[in-house]
Amino acid sequence: MDVSELHPELRSVFRRVPNPPIAHGWQRSLVRLGSRLLPGPKLRDGLRHEHIELEAGVGAHVFTPAGGGCGAALLWIHGGGMVIGTAAQDHASCVDIAVDLDLVVVSVEYRLAPEHPFPVPLDDCLRLWRWLLDHADERGVDPLRIAVGGQSAGGGLAAGLVQRLHDLDGVRPIVQWLHCPMLDDRTAARRELDAVDHFLWNNRSNRIAWSAYLGTGPGAPDAPPYAVPARRTDLAGLPPTWIGLGDIELFYEEGRAYAEALTDAGVDTMVEVVPGAPHAFEALAPRSRVAEEFAATARAWLHARLAPTA
C-alpha cells in the first residue's frame, strides 16, 4: 500500500510503522515483554485507578471518576490480534474516557493465543463482565447502563461477548462500541489481500493471528459459536452498535458487512468511516486532528447512549 493513500495528517506516523512481528514465538515473547514495561496510567482530575487480578493473566484496570461517576460503565477490551497486547496500551484513552464521560471504565486483561486459544480469551472477558455485575452496586454502577467495547482484536472479542451475553439468561450490555474490529476469519483466507500489504496490520499477520486463536487455519466451513462474530447469522436483538473504521484498513470490508447485517436484522447501527485512515490510527496518532475528531464523535455517541434516559 502506498503512502499517498494515507490521510495527510497520518503519513508522518504510518510511513514508519511496521507490522508487528508475531510469526514466531520468540517474536511474540519480545513484544509481550515490551508491553510489560509500559508505564502505569497517568491519572487526572481526581480519577482513581485500581488493578484487579482474578488469576495470572486475567484481571482488569478499573478507572473510577471523582464522585463515582454518572452511574454508567464501559467494559473495554484491548487489541493485539489475540496474540499480543495488554490493557496498559490503552491506559491513556481509558483515562480520558472515564474523565470526559464521567463513567467507570473496566479495562480487561485476558490471556493470549496461541498458548490460550478460543474460548479462553472470550471466557476471560466474560469473567470480567460478571465481576463488574457482581460489584456494580458497591461502585455505583447501574447494571442496565453498561457498554462493551474494544479495538481491533478487542473489538472482535467485544462483539463475540455481546453475542454470547445475548444468548445467556441475564443482564445484557446496553450498547456495543467497536473500534476497527477484527470480526471475520474469512478475510485472512483471502490470499489476494496479501499483496496489498495494509499499514500496521496486513493479511499475513491476520492469518497468523486467526490461526493462533482458532487453533486451525482461517476460512474453514464452520467456526465455533462466538469465535468469529461475523459468521453469526441471527443478529436480531443485539444492542445498538457503533463501528469505527478507516477506509484503507484491512478490516474495512468486514466491518461494513457486519454493520449492514446488523442493520438488516433491525439493530440500530452507526458506522463512522475516516477516509485515508489505516488500522488503529486513533491509537498511534491520538493528537492528530483527524484522530481527535474521530474520538470526539465516537465518545459523543457513547455518552448519549449511556445517559439515564437512553
The ranges assigned to domains in the chain are: 3-10+44-306
Q: How confident is the model at residue 308 (pLDDT cuts 50, 70, 90)?
A: confident
**C-alpha count within 13 angstroms, C-beta hemisphere, residue 189:** 9
Burial class (CB in 10 A: 0-12, 13-18, 19+), 60: buried
Indicate whether 297 pLDDT > 80: yes
Query: Residue 248 above 80 pLDDT?
Result: yes
pLDDT at 91 over 80: yes
pLDDT of residue 21: 94
Mean pLDDT for 12-35 is: 94
* pLDDT score of 29 more than 80: yes
Q: What is the pTM of this model?
A: 0.97
Is the separation of the CB atoms in 103 and 65 below 8 Å?
yes
| Distance in angstroms (rounded) separating the CA atoms of residues 284 and 270 | 23
Residues 6+ away with beta carbon under 8 Å from 223 = 185, 214, 231
Q: What is the pLDDT of residues 53-64, one digit of tens each?
A: 999 999 999 999
User: What is the tens place of the pLDDT at every residue in 135-178?
Assistant: 999 999 999 999 999 999 999 999 999 999 999 989 999 999 99
pLDDT of residue 272: 98
Q: What is the pLDDT of residue 16?
A: 87
Joined grid coordinates for residue 259 = 454493520
CA 165 to chain centre: 17
pLDDT at 181 over 60: yes
Which of the listed CATH numbers 3.30.565.10, 3.40.50.1820, 3.20.20.110, 3.30.420.40 matches domain 3-10+44-306?
3.40.50.1820
Reported as a pLDDT band with limits 50, 70 and 90, residue 310 is low
- Whose grid coordinates read 483527524? 290
Q: Rounded mean pLDDT of the chain?
A: 97
pLDDT in tens, 281-294: 999 999 999 999 99
Alpha-carbon gap, residue 273 to 62, rounded angstroms: 30
From the list 204, 54, 198, the residue with the least C-alpha distance to 129 is 54
Nearest to 7 by CA among 285, 299, 202, 207: 285
* C-alpha distances out from residue 16 to 12, 174, 200, 214, Å: 7, 39, 10, 31
What's the rounded Cα separation, in Å, for the pair 275 and 256? 14
* Grid cell for residue 37: 514495561
